[in-house]
Structure 1
Amino acid sequence: MIELQHLTKRYGGTLAVDDLSFKVEPGHVTGFLGPNGAGKSTTMRLILGLDAPTSGQALVNGRRYTSIAKPMHEVGALLDAGAVHGGRSAYNHLLSLARTNDIGPTRVAEVLDQVGLAGVARKRVGGFSLGMKQRLGIASALLGDPAVLMFDEPVNGLDPDGVRWIRDLMRSLAAEGRTILLSSHLMSEMALTAERIIIVGRGKLIAEATVTELTAHYPSLEDAYMALTAGSVQYGASR
C-alpha cells in the first residue's frame, strides 16, 4: 500500500504539492490524473525518495522508501524510460540494476521475456524505439517482483498491441494483490484499465473515487475529469 500523509513540497516560492493525503490500496489499478503542473510527477518522486518533502510523509507498506534496505524487492517504478545508458545492452542494463539488490541473472531473463524483449536482450538500448525503452523500463520495475508498482505514462510510444498489453499487464498485476499506481493523460485508456482514480490539481487533491462513481453524472471519465479540473489548469490554450 502507498499512503500519503499531509505531503507538501515547496521549491522556493512554488508550492508543487499542497497538503496531499490519499491511499493507494492493493488489488486495484489506481489511476493518477491531473493537468500538466498538477504535481503528479513530484508526488511520485517524493514517494520514491528522489525528493525530500517540505512537510508530511509518503509511506510504502508503512515505511519511508529511503528506509527500505533492498527497495527493488518491495517497490518497482517507471518514471522516465529514457533514463538508460544507450551503450549498454538491455540485458546488461537490467543485470546492473539486479546486482544492487541481490537479484540473480535468471530473473533478468524472466522479465525480458515477460515484456517481449528476449529477442533483443543483447542489443544496445541506444538503438531502441521509445516503445521498446518503455518495455525495458517496465522490466526494470518488475525486476524485484515487488508488491508495489508505480508507472508514469507507460504507454508512451507503444503501438495499439503494446497499449493493450500494458492494460492486460496492469490488470493481471493488480489481480495478484499488488498495489498499482498508474499516471497517464490518456483518459480512454485509463477508463479501461483503472478501477480507482485519484485526481490532483495545483498540488491539491480534487477527487478520489472509483471510475463508476466518477462517471455516474458524466458521459465519460474524460468529461468528469475536464469538469473537475476546470479550475486547476494553469496553462490553458487561448481561443
Structure 2
Amino acid sequence: MAKNLTTIGFDADDTLWYNERFFRITQERFAELLTDFAPADHLMDRLLEAERRNLGHYGFGIKGFVLSMIETAIEVTEERVPAAVIAELMAAGREMLRHPIELLPHARDTVLSLGADYHLVLITKGDLLDQERKLAQSGLGELFDWVEIVSDKTPEMYHRVFARHGDGAARALMVGDSMRSDVVPAITAGGWGVFIPQGPAWELEKASPPADTSRFFELPTLQPLPDLVHRLD
C-alpha cells in the first residue's frame, strides 16, 4: 500500500537549533544603548516597524536585523546617534554571526529516526552564507537528502520544493516553530503542518492556526514527532 507521507520538511532556526534568543539578547543591548533617547517599549515598536519595512530589501536574517537597528537608532535620535553606538550595534551583529550552534533537544535523534523511512528536506530562509554556516556547524547536514535556502516561505514555494524533492505537497509534512512560515503555507499547499513553538515568536512570524483542517498538529517538542508521522501513514 502506498504511503500517505513520503517527504518530511524541517525548518532550521528554532526548530533544530536555537536562534531567536540571540536576537532577543541583542535587542536588550540595543535598548540599553539608546536608553537616553527612547523608552524600551517605544524603541521595540520602532524597530519592528523598520524590520517590517525592510524585509523586501534585506530579507530575513542577522544582517537585515542589524541594518534595521541602525536605521531605528538614527530615526529615534533624530540623526544624533553617537558613532560609538553604531559601532556597538555592528559588533553585536558580528557576534551573532559567530555564535556557535546549539541543537535543540531531540533534534539529531528525531532527524535520524525519520531519515530511515522518509525523504528529508531542510527548508530554511535567511542569509545564504549564515544559513550555510549554521548548517555546517550543526552536524546535521549529511542527514538531509536536500537543503533549500529560500528568501521566503509561501504555498508556491512549498509546491515547488516538494514536487522537486518528493511526491508533491499532498504527500509531504512540514515541521517548524513558525505558524506563518512553516505551518500555514505548507497546509495551504496541500500538505501537513506540525507546529512546535519555541518560546515567544517574533511578531512578524505570528499567524492564527489554520482552522477546519485535519492536517494541522501541535507538539511540545521534537521527541514525539516520529510517532505522529508513523501514525499518519
**Bigger helix share:** 2
TM-score w.r.t. structure 2 length? 0.30
Q: Based on CA coordinates, which of the two structures has the bigger radius of gyration?
A: 2
**Bigger strand share:** 1
